Amino acid sequence: MPMQKYGYEWIQLAAYIAILLIITKPVGLYLMQVLDARGKTFLDPLLHPVEKGFYWLLGLDPIKEQTWKEYAISLFIFSLIGFVMTYTVLRLQQHMPLNPQGFGPLSTHLAFNTAVSFATNTNWQSYAGESTMSYFSQMVGLAFQNFTSAAAGIALAAALVRGLARHSAKTIGNFWVDMVRIHLYLLIPVCIIYAVFLVSQGTIQNFKTYDTVQVIEQQAGGNHPIRTQIIPQGPVASQEAIKMLGTNGGGFFNANSAHPYENPTPLTNFIQMLSIFLIPSGLTYYLGRMVKNQHHGWTIWATMLALFLCAFLVCWHAEEAGNPRLYALGIQQDTGNMEGKEVRFGVFDSALFATITTDASCGAVNAMHDSFTPLGGLIPLFNIQLGEIVFGGAGSGLYGMLIFVVLTVFIAGLMVGRTPEYLGKKIEAYDVKVSVLFIMVPVFVVLGFSAWAVVSEWGLAGLNNSGPHGFSEILYAFTSGTGNNGSAFAGLNANSPWFDTTLALAMLLGRFFMIVPVLALAGNLVQKKRSESGSGSFPISGIMFASLLSGIILIIGALTFLPALSLGPIVEHMIMLRSNLAY
C-alpha cells in the first residue's frame, strides 16, 4: 500500500483528535457556567433578561433545587407533553402552515414511532423526510425535540455529576433551570453560527416550493416530453446544526448526511464529525472540574479516545479492504468499498463518520451502513451495544460512562478486598443495583425484540437482504432503537405497524428505563458523606484505571452481544472470505 495515499487520512485523523483535545477544556469551562444557576457567561447582557422572562412565565425561583424524584417527574412530564405535541403536529400536518408540497397526515403508527423517536433523542426514521414531512413538521414537530431531548440529556449528566460532587445534600439541581440555560447559552447560539457556516458551504435554508428543473440532457426529437427533476428544498441548515450538535441524527432528507444539501463538502463533514463529540468531550472536563479531580476527567477522556481509535481502525481497515465479490468482477481495489458511499467522502471519511456517530448516540450517517463490509458494519453495531459511552450522546454518553465507572470501582474494590469507594463516597449495594439495572435494560430489550422479530412474519417481511445480513438488519434496528442512536441498516423497511410499534417501545424503554436508574444513583450519591480518600483507596485516574474501565466495558459488551453478533456480521465475514456464496 503506497504511503502517499494513506498520508492524507492519517493527517486528517491526527487533526481531528488534536482539535477535539484542544476544545475540550474551553467547552468544559463554558459548561461549568451554563450548568450553574448562578453562572456567568459572555452572553449574559443579551440573554439574561430572556432567561429571567422564562422563569417568570414558569413561575419559578431559579435558586430552588429539586430532589432526584422531583427532577425525574419534571423530566417525564416535559417529555410527555413534547411527545403529545409532536404526535399532534404529525397527525394534523395537512392543516398546518408551511406545507408547500401539500403532504397529508402520517399514519397513526408512523406518527407514534416518529414522535417517540424524536422525544427520546433517537431520531430513528421510518419515513423519508423529503416525501413525508412539511417544513412546519420538520421545524416544530422534529427540530423542537432535537433541542429539548439533547438539553435533557445534558441536564441529566449535570444532575449526576452534582450527585457526585456534593455530599450530605438532598438536591441535584433544577430541571427547568438546566433546560432553560442549556438552550439559551449553549445550543441556540452555537447552532446559529454553525447553521450559517453550513449554508456558506452549500446547505440550503429556504421555505420555497420544491424546484422543478429541466435537466441538461434532453431527449432528441420533437415529440418527447421535457425531462425534469424535482429538487426538494426547505430550512435544512437550521435543522442540520442541532441534529449534529445535539447528537440527534434525524436527517431532513432520507439520505441524511450523505445528501449533498445536508453535508455538501468534506469540510462540512469534518465539522459535523467534530460537533458530534463537542459537548460529550467537554462534559468530561466538566466532570473533572466539578469533582475537583481533573486527572479523573482526563482519564475518562483518554479511555474514550482509546476505545474510539480501536473501533475506528477496524472499521476503516475493513472498508478499505473492500468487497471481494465485486473485485472478482474486475473493479479497482484502491478505493475500497464504494457501494453506498459518496465520492467526496470516500472510504476514510465514511468509516470515521460511522464510528463517531455510533460512539455517540447521534445516528446521522454519511454512508449507508447496510452496504458496509461485514466487519465494517459490525463496528457501528457493536459501538451502540457498548452503550454509546465513547464520548457518547450529549449528556447520555457521560452518564452512561459514569455507570461503568461505578461498576469498575465496585469490581476493583472486590478484587483488592476493600470497601469500594468513588470520589470519597462508599459504593454500596443500592448504587451497584441501579447501575446493573442500567446495563441490563438494553440487553433484554435488544435481544428480546430481535429474537421475536426474526421468528415472526412481520419481522422477516421488512428485510431487504437475506441470510446473515438479514439478521443483522433486524439486530441493528432494535440495537439502534434501544440505544437511542437512530442510524440503521436502512434496507430494512420498518414502516409497518409491527416494526413501528415495537421499535417505539424499544426506544421508550431504552430512554426512560435508563434515566430512572441514573437519577436514582445521583439521588443516592448526593446524600452520602464524603471521607477523605486516603492511601488505601483505589486510584481512579491513570493507565491502570483506564485499562480496568475499558476492560469492563468490553467484557460486558462482548459477553452480552457476541453470540448475536456471531450469527450476523461475524458469520457473514467468514462466508465472504471463505466461499463464493451470495444471497
Q: Using CB atoms within 10 A of its CB, is residue 255 exposed (0-12), middle (13-18) or buried (19+)?
A: buried
Reading the block at residue 28, the C-alpha cell is 468544559
Query: Which segments of 417-530 does DSSP mark as H helices, in order?
Result: 429-454, 457-461, 468-482, 497-526
**Separation CA 67–CA 65 (nearest Å):** 7
Print the SS3 string covering 18-78.
HHHHHHHHHHHHHHHHHCCCCCCCCCHHHHHHHHHHHHHHHCCCCCCCCCHHHHHHHHHHH
Which CB, 246 or 442, lies closer to other proteins? 246
Which CB, 29 or 92, lies closer to other proteins? 92
Pairing of strands 228-231, 211-214: antiparallel
Q: Minimum CB separation from other proteins for residue 191, in Å? A: 7
Q: Minimum CB separation from other proteins for residue 394, in Å? A: 15
Q: Minimum CB separation from other proteins for residue 131, in Å? A: 5
Which CB, 45 or 330, lies closer to other proteins? 330
H/E stretch holding 312 reads: helix 294-321
Q: Minimum CB separation from other proteins for residue 128, in Å? A: 6
* Contact in structure between 238 and 246 (CB atoms under 8 Å): no
Which CB, 328 or 416, lies closer to other proteins? 328
**Separation CA 583–CA 50 (nearest Å):** 59
* Contact in structure between 66 and 175 (CB atoms under 8 Å): yes
* Contact in structure between 164 and 525 (CB atoms under 8 Å): yes
* Residues in CB range of 99: below 8 A, 6 or more apart: 93, 134, 135, 136, 137
Q: Minimum CB separation from other proteins for residue 60, in Å? A: 7
Which CB, 370 or 431, lies closer to other proteins? 370
**Separation CA 487–CA 29 (nearest Å):** 31
Which CB, 274 or 505, lies closer to other proteins? 274
Q: 3-class SS at 426?
A: strand
Sign of the C-alpha dihedral computed for residues 14, 20, 24 and 25 taken in this order: positive
Which CB, 188 or 451, lies closer to other proteins? 188
Q: Minimum CB separation from other proteins for residue 123, in Å? A: 16
Q: Minimum CB separation from other proteins for residue 115, in Å? A: 13
Q: Minimum CB separation from other proteins for residue 229, in Å? A: 6
**Separation CA 165–CA 530 (nearest Å):** 10
Which CB, 232 or 486, lies closer to other proteins? 232
Which CB, 192 or 440, lies closer to other proteins? 192
Q: Minimum CB separation from other proteins for residue 184, in Å? A: 8
Q: Minimum CB separation from other proteins for residue 78, in Å? A: 4
Q: Minimum CB separation from other proteins for residue 101, in Å? A: 9
* Residues in CB range of 497: below 8 A, 6 or more apart: 109, 458
Q: Minimum CB separation from other proteins for residue 444, in Å? A: 27
Instruction: Please state at what angle helix 374-385 crosses helix 571-578, rounded to 10 degrees.
Output: 170
Estimate to the nearest angstrom the gap between the alpha carbon of 530 and the chain centroid.
34
Q: Minimum CB separation from other proteins for residue 315, in Å? A: 14
**Separation CA 358–CA 557 (nearest Å):** 14
Cα torsion 43, 45, 46, 48 to 10°: value is 90
**Separation CA 24–CA 325 (nearest Å):** 43
Residue type, 7: G
Which CB, 331 or 543, lies closer to other proteins? 331
Which CB, 148 or 435, lies closer to other proteins? 148
Which CB, 259 or 528, lies closer to other proteins? 259
* Residues in CB range of 95: below 8 A, 6 or more apart: none
* Contact in structure between 290 and 165 (CB atoms under 8 Å): yes
**Residue given cell 452512561 in the structure block:** 400
Provide the 10 A C-beta neighbour count for residue 56.
9
Which CB, 397 or 462, lies closer to other proteins? 462
Reading the block at residue 481, the C-alpha cell is 432503537
Q: Minimum CB separation from other proteins for residue 152, in Å? A: 11
* Contact in structure between 471 and 567 (CB atoms under 8 Å): yes
Which CB, 366 or 524, lies closer to other proteins? 366
